[in-house]
Amino acid sequence: MDLSYELKKRFGYDQFRPGQEEVVQSILQQENTLAILPTGMGKSLCYQLPGEMLSGLVVIISPLVSLMEDQVASLRKRGEKRVAAINSFLPQEQRKQLFKDIHTIKFLFISPEMLNRPDIGRFLTNLSISILVVDEAHCISQWGFDFRPDYLRLGEFTRLAGNPPVLALTATADQQVERDIIQYLQMTEANVIRQSVDRPNLKYFVERLNSERDKTEWLKNRLTATSGPGIIYVSSRKRAEELTRILQQDGHQIASYHAGKEAGDRHIIQQQFLSGELSWICATNAFGMGVHKENIRQVIHDQLPASAAAYVQEAGRAGRDGNRSSAVLLYVEEDEQKVRFIVQNDLPEESEVHHFVAMRKSGHTIEVSAELAGISETSARLIQYYSETLTIEDVLKTFTKLKYDKEEKLREMISYVSENTCLREKLLFYFDEHISDRYDVCCSVCGIRSEDWLLNKSNVKNNRTLLNWEERIELLLCPHS
């Protein structure tokens, strides 16, 4: 079969990006496939192309409503209208209508929560599913940084659906996460197609500093000397606000972004960043997923991420256009303790587990029990899931192990910032990869004399001016003259 012809005909592209063709081949041969492709390598094409070529429904499990919508929109934009999405926001009436018209749908996006509902699960297992796609498949692993307990039940769905070929997609998975994905999705004889996480155009830097104040000073100089667009990741809302204020005083077009901001402002800030009106975003890790900006030149971490996988994911938002970009990590010694505290606090304590289980036994709902036990809803669903098959003792053991693993992940980052080994080599090592090529410009350990690609000062200066209100309305809605 001439896949290049199909690619040209259906998508208008002349060639595949690395890894894509292999994945498509594998799926067309009905093989369970795990594709680990770095961000921006066109993961969605991996199911869209075979989906178009095969008969039957493509079911795509997606963890975020916004991601789902992005993908629905991009399919529609391409002219594929046989698309629908089911999530908890879809009114029941419309869901019923959709089920009636299911034969007119080719690509069905669904959240794992909805798929786990018995009525919906049953309905879907009776359909002819050509490919079951699990997007952001790392969410299935407790060792992934975005664990979603609802993903754990997907394996059962696959079985009930008569084992259609499963395509698990993710940007980052080390061996452990890879094993989890294959095990929980029950992907027998899985074909693993792994594209290196190495991003040659990304240059890694670690800056070891003495204090929080030094970090701020460093950032001030950095933004004055180099150009964006860029993201500064910080660990708290407070820091995001403070840092933004300081950098604004230097005249930079920067805005803060975190979950505590007014929803309207969050949207506006994203929009301004995409359009280039803002050069910098100072954000907590709430910012990033679903934001498609190709020309981000720098991602700077003001604080240690919880794992190498998280770091690779966040830093990887830079340079999607393939041009040279910088990933900088600022580190002071106290950071280790700070991050450890945050990370370990994510998991419930023994007493909290007991409390939650007792509340469940006395007949409370998961939500109420979680609240009474003072734990997060994710923790609650986690306990719920494990306690269905394990004894309390084993649940506790599992959590102890998880805490231990999280500590291990944190150690990776500590060693990343404190040892004198090539940074690229280190990051690759965590994904069981080895450096194949040496780059003349690699990382701060290998030595980089100057970041001349960032010196081109093209940062937007403040040229925001208020319009007369009538003109502003015309600018928004009337034909441009």
Partner 1 sequence: MKLSSIILKIVEKMDGQRSLNASLHVLRGKRSGQTIQDVDYFSIKPFFSLLPKLQESTFLEAVNELNSHELIIEKQGIIYLTQKGRLASAQLPEFRFDGWNYRGQIETFNLRLLLLVQTLSQVRLSKNSFLPITNDRNVQQFIKELLRNLPATRQKTAALLAAELQSCIKQSEMSELQATVISHRLTGAEASGWTWEQLEEALEESRNSLQLELLEGLHRIIALSETTDYARKLPILHKLAEGIRIETPLTESTVITKKLFDQGLSIDEIAVVRKLRSSTIEDHITEIATNDKDFPILQFVELIDLEAVQDEVNRNEVKRLRLLKEKFPHLSYFQLRLILSTAKGERV
Closest to partner 1 by CB, 223 or 422:
223
Q: Any residues with CB less than 8 A from the CB of 468 and at least 6 apart, and which?
A: none
Q: Round to whole Å and give the CA distance between 435 and 446.
A: 13
Closest to partner 1 by CB, 54 or 64:
64
Please tell me whether residue 473 binds partner 1 under the rule CB under 8 A: yes
For tokens 């669904």, name the residue.
110
Q: Which of 3, 53, 67, 90 binds partner 1 (CB under 8 A)?
A: 90
Q: Round to whole Å and give the CA distance between 329 and 413.
A: 10
Please tell me whether residue 464 binds partner 1 under the rule CB under 8 A: yes
Closest to partner 1 by CB, 103 or 472:
472
Q: Which of 12, 79, 91, 447 binds partner 1 (CB under 8 A)?
A: 91
Count of alpha carbons within 13 angstroms of residue 162, beta-carbon side: 10
Q: Round to whole Å and give the CA distance between 429 and 379.
A: 30
Stretch near partner 1 under the rule CB under 8 A, chosen from 66-74, 119-127, 196-204, 390-398: 66-74
- Subset of residues 344 to 383 that bind partner 1, contact rule: CB under 8 A: 363-365, 367-368, 372
Please tell me whether residue 73 binds partner 1 under the rule CB under 8 A: yes
Q: Which of 25, 44, 74, 398 binds partner 1 (CB under 8 A)?
A: 74
Closest to partner 1 by CB, 363 or 447:
363
Q: Round to whole Å and give the CA distance between 438 and 445.
A: 13
Q: How far is the CB of 409 from partner 1 (least distance, A)?
A: 31
Q: How far is the CB of 250 from partner 1 (least distance, A)?
A: 15
Please tell me whether residue 398 binds partner 1 under the rule CB under 8 A: no
Q: How far is the CB of 75 from partner 1 (least distance, A)?
A: 11
Strand 83-86 versus strand 230-233 pairing type: unpaired
- Subset of residues 233 to 272 that bind partner 1, contact rule: CB under 8 A: 255, 262-265, 267-272
- Per CB under 8 A, residues contacting partner 1 are 65-66, 73-74, 76-77, 89-91, 255, 262-265, 267-272, 274-275, 277, 363-365, 367-368, 372, 464-467, 469-470, 472-479
